Amino acid sequence: MSAHLTDKVILITGATSGMGRATAERIAAEGAKVVLAARGKEAGDALVASIRGGGGEATFVPADVTVEADSAELVRQAVSRYGRLDGVFNNVGAATAPGPVTDVDADAWHAELALNLTSVFYGLKHQIPALRASGGGAIVNNASVTGVQGQSGFSAYAAAKHGVIGLTRSAALETAETAIRINALVTGGVDTPLLRGGMGPTPDEALRAAGAMHPLGRIGRPEEIAAFVAFLLSDEAAFITGAALAIDGGMTAA
């Protein structure tokens, strides 16, 4: 594996499973120093041990990124431990308030936006100054195909993910002259614990149902997302900013 991220300090939220974990393992293998953020300390410590066992460098910071103070502390600890911050993958997100818009509880609506959109706002607010102090860098925000198209029964999630893309584009324009690049992923279905548990009575049925929604006939693998994020965080993607980039098995082409 190449070493495009050697010695870069990269922060990942939602880092202990699915796309976050795969990205942490990928960029650590490419030479980055990885700051892992999630709520579960046991899973975080185990991932740190695994990365270090493979010759990489990582540290874990327990955090709830829907809390601004936690988002600020993540950045502070990354800079305190490694002296700088070069990149971020804002990966936290989940559909937590399904149902017709007329049936969604107001508290559930606000919780959905807090998890999927406000968490990205808090992150950018504190990550951008740290990247600026390091001379520039890259941020990748994990949106969704639901960020560019509607989805019946997921109005809150769609609203939040549309917001992530708008926030990404606006922040990219605000930071372009400071050598900071900010992009969003338009992800399709990916084989994660969340998807396996949320789309069918059994994991196998969930995978079949999700795969049928994609022109390629399957869902993505976390490792495929990780490879794309690693590219966007590297200097090889130096001319890409303010973009909503599809990695969706053809879903948004239909």
Q: Write out pLDDT tens, residues 152-175.
A: 999 999 999 999 999 999 999 999
Q: Give residue-wise pLDDT tens across range 71-105.
A: 999 999 999 999 999 999 999 999 899 999 999 99
Is 4 within a domain?
no
Give the pLDDT score at 37: 98
Answer whether residue 160 is part of any domain.
yes
1 pLDDT higher than 80: no
d(CA 233, CA 95): 26
Is 178 domain-assigned?
A: yes
Tell me the whole-structure pTM to 2 decimals. Answer: 0.93
Q: The domain containing residue 241 runs over which residues? A: 9-253
Does residue 103 sit within a domain? yes
Who contacts 243 (Cβ-Cβ below 8 Å, separation ≥6)? 172, 183, 184
- In this structure, is the dihedral angle defined by the CA atoms of residues 26, 28, 33 and 39, taken in order, positive or negative? positive
pLDDT digits (tens, 9 = 90+) for 197-252: 555 566 667 667 777 778 888 889 999 999 999 999 999 999 999 999 999 999 99
| Confidence class for position 4, pLDDT limits 50, 70, 90 | confident
Is residue 1 domain-resident? no
Residue 159 contacts residue 153 (beta carbons within 8 Å): no
- Residue 254's pLDDT band, with cuts at 50, 70 and 90, is confident
The candidate with the shortest Cα–Cα distance to 141, out of 150, 132, 122, 202, is: 122
Q: Is residue 140 part of a domain?
A: yes
CA 15 to each of CA 36, 45, 115: distance values in angstroms, whole numbers, following the listed order: 5, 11, 15
Phi, psi (5° rounding) for residue 23?
-70, -40
Least confident of 24-28, 41-45, 102-106, 189-193: 189-193
Percent of the chain with pLDDT over 70: 94
Other beta carbons within 10 angstroms of residue 247's beta carbon come to 17
Question: What pLDDT does 215 receive?
Answer: 87
Provide the CATH number for the domain around residue 97: 3.40.50.720
Catalytic residues: 157
Please count the structural domains in the chain.
Answer: 1
Residue 3: inside a domain:
no
How much is the pLDDT for 10?
A: 98
In a domain, 100, yes or no: yes
